[in-house]
Amino acid sequence: MSSEKTFSWYQIIRLGVVQMSIGGIVVLMTSTLNRVMVVELLLPALLPGILVAVHYAVQILRPRLGYGADKLGKCTPWIKLGMVILAFGSLLSTFSTTLMFESKMVGISLAFFGFMLIGLGVSAAGTSVLTLLAKKVSSVRRAAAATVLWLMMIGGFAVTALIAGQLLDPFSPERLFMVALAISLGGVILSFIAIWGIEENTKSVKYNYEKQQSKNMKATFLQTLKVIISEPKTRNFSVFVFLSMFAFSMQDLILEPFAGKVFEMSPGETTSLSGIQHSGVLFGMILVGYANNKEILGKKVNSLKLWIVSGCVLSAVSLIFLSSSAIIGEPWPLGFNVFVLGFSNGVFSIAAIAMMMQLAKEGLQGTEGTKIGLWGASQALAFGLGGFLGAASTDLLALFSTTTHSSYAIVFFVEAVLFFIAAFLAQNLDKSKMTDKLIKRTGFENDNRNFYVHDRRSI
C-alpha cells in the first residue's frame, strides 16, 4: 500500500501566508483600535480590554468548527469562510470605532458584534489551517513547519503595523476605515490565492480515510467530543495547554508596568524590554524548529516532550528570578532575565504546537479538526483569563501589600508554580490513572467508544 503524500515546503509556506494574513488583520484590531479608543476617543482602557476578551471567549467554539471541517472532509472551505468572517468583523469593528466619534453608545454596541465576528473568523480559519497542517505535514517537518507558520504570523503583525503606521498619518476616522478595508481585503485575497487547490494535490492513500471518516461522522459533535476527551493523551494535553498558556499570558499586561515601577524605566526603555523578550521568543522557536528537523541535521535533537518540559522548567526558573528581582531591584540584570524568559517561552510553545499536530493524528481517525479545536479553545480561554487575572491580581495584591514590588513578586512566583505543574503534566502525558478511573465511572468511554466499534464492524 502506498505511503501518504505530505506537504512540501512550498505548500507549508502557502499555509503560512494564511497565518500571516490572520495576524495582519488581528493586530490592527487589537493594537490600533485599542489606541484610538483610549487616546483619540478618551475612553477607559477597560473597554478595549473587554472587547479583546470577547474575541477570546468566542473561540470556545473552535472544537465545533473543527468538527465541521472533519465532517466535510476538507479544510479549505472553512479557511475561506473564516477569512471572510474575520474581514467582515474587522470592518465592522473599525466602522464602530469611527462611529464612536459621533455616538459612543451605538459604536460600542456594534464593536461587541465586530469583535465576536473576529473571534469566530480566527477560530474557523486558524483551526482549519492547523488541522490541514496536522493531516498533511510529515513527522520530520512538524516542529519546523510550526516555526515557519508562527514566524510568518509574527511577520504579518510587523508588516501590517509598519504599513498601517505610514498610511494612518495624518489620522482621521475615514482614513482608519480605508486602511482597515485595504488590509482586510488584501488578507482575504492573499489567503484565497495561497490555498487554491492545496488539498486536491495531496490525497492520502495510506488508509481508506474517507470511508473511515464517513463512518465516524455519523456521530454527533457531543458524542465525538466525549470520545476524544476520553483519550488520555488528548485530555491531559488539553489541561497542559490551558495551564501553560495561562501562565504564559499572565505576564503580558504586567511586565512593562513592573519594569517602570520597580526599575524606574522610561516608556521607551520598557518598550525595548518587550522587544528583548520577543527576540528571545523568536530565538527559542527557531532553535526548536531547526533542532527537530531531520532534513537539516540528519537526526532530531531530543524529543518534543523533552523540549516542552525543558521550556516549561526554564520558564519557571526565569520567573522565580524575576520574582526575586522585584524584591532586590537594581542592579538586577533585568534585560538578560527577560530574554531568557522569552527564549524558554518560545521553546516550549513551538514544541507544544508540533506535539499538538502529532497527537491530532493519534487516536480516533478523522477527528483531527475537533482535537485541534479543543486545544485551540483551551489556549484562547487561557490567554483571555491569564492576561486579565495577571493584571487584576497585581492590583488586588497591591492593596494588601506594604509595597507594589511584593505584589509583582507574588504574581511572578504563581506563574512559576503553574509552569512547574505544566512541566509535570507534559512529562506524564501518557500516565493518567486517576482521570481514567473518573472516565470509567462516568460511563462516557464505554458508551461512546461502543458507538464507534459498532460502526467499524460494518465497514
Q: Would the pLDDT of 209 be above 50? A: no
**SS3 call for 402:** coil
Helices (H), 329-367: 334-360
pLDDT tens per residue, range 304-313: 889 999 999 9
Angstrom distance (rounded) from CA 51 to CA 45: 10
pLDDT confidence bin for 404, thresholds 50/70/90: confident
pLDDT tens per residue, range 183-199: 999 999 999 999 999 98
Is the Cβ–Cβ distance between 267 and 260 less than 8 Å? Answer: yes
pLDDT tens per residue, range 137-156: 888 888 889 889 988 988 88
pLDDT given for residue 196 in this prediction: 94
Is the Cβ–Cβ distance between 435 and 235 less than 8 Å? Answer: yes
Angstrom distance (rounded) from CA 82 to CA 84: 5
Angstrom distance (rounded) from CA 330 to CA 46: 32
Q: Which residue has the higher pLDDT, 56 or 452?
A: 56
Q: Work out the average pLDDT over 58-77.
A: 94
Q: Would the pLDDT of 316 be above 90? A: yes
Q: Do domains 1-206 and 209-452 have the same CATH topology?
A: yes
Q: Which residue has the higher pLDDT, 261 or 297?
A: 261
Q: Would the pLDDT of 73 be above 60? A: yes
Please spell the DSSP secondary structure of 93-113, one letter per residue.
HHHHHHHTTT-HHHHHHHHHH
Angstrom distance (rounded) from CA 161 to CA 221: 39
All structural domains of the chain with their residue ranges = 1-206, 209-452
Query: Please, what is the average pLDDT of the chain?
Result: 84
Angstrom distance (rounded) from CA 182 to CA 23: 15
Q: What is the DSSP letter of 309?
A: H
pLDDT tens per residue, range 226-256: 989 888 888 899 999 999 999 999 888 788 8
Select from 99, 92, 134, 135 the least CA-distant residue to 115.
Answer: 92
pLDDT tens per residue, range 102-111: 999 999 999 9
pLDDT given for residue 149 in this prediction: 92
- Around 422, how many Cα atoms within 13 Å sit in the side-chain half-sphere? 31
Q: Would the pLDDT of 393 be above 70? A: yes
Q: Name the CATH superfamily, with its identifier, for domain 209-452.
A: MFS general substrate transporter like domains (1.20.1250.20)
pLDDT given for residue 230 in this prediction: 87
pLDDT confidence bin for 453, thresholds 50/70/90: very low
**SS3 call for 205:** coil
Which of the listed CATH numbers 1.20.1250.20, 1.50.10.10, 1.10.10.10, 1.10.260.40 matches domain 1-206? Answer: 1.20.1250.20
Cell readout for 142 is 512538524
